Amino acid sequence: MLTSSDNDLILSGYVQKVCYKDARSITFDLDDDVYGPIQCIAPRNAMYSFYSFVDLKKKYRFLAKLKGHQYIDELGMTRTFNRIYLRKELKEGEGIAGNDVKKAKNK
């Protein structure tokens, strides 16, 4: 998981679970073990389109919006990254805040 601005971040990882019941959430197993797995909430239309190409063996990158939920982890650190709102899937070379995905991924 890579923070790109105050409220936007690039989420990168493998899809662990897709909730088909309400078509609104997926769970990512993030590259950064400190924050994963994380539940993601998305608009219905985004989730329906996601179903058509989801592959549990493939890594996905999404631009996401923080929901602002804070909690204290087992190490006593404040975390805000447990619920996010998916905005769109990032294609290779696409990014935000002037950083493309390749550069952000390597930071």
Least confident of 16-30, 55-69, 91-105: 91-105
Q: How far apart are CA 51 and CA 19, in angstroms?
A: 10
* Domain housing 27: 2-93
Inside any domain, residue 34: yes
Report the CATH number at residue 51. Answer: 2.40.50.140
Concatenated DSSP letters of 3-42 = E-SSSEEEEEEEEEEEETTTS-EEEEEESSTTT-SEEEE-
Looking at the structure of the chain, the number of domains it has is: 1
Residue with token string 């679970």: 17
Inside any domain, residue 101: no
Q: How far apart are CA 51 and CA 81, in angstroms?
A: 24
Read off the pLDDT of residues 2-39 as tens digits, 9 standing for 90 and up.
444 455 566 667 776 666 555 556 666 666 555 556 66
Inside any domain, residue 78: yes
pTM above 0.85, yes or no: no
Q: Which residues pair with 42 in a beta bridge?
A: none
CA 106 from chain center: how many Å?
17
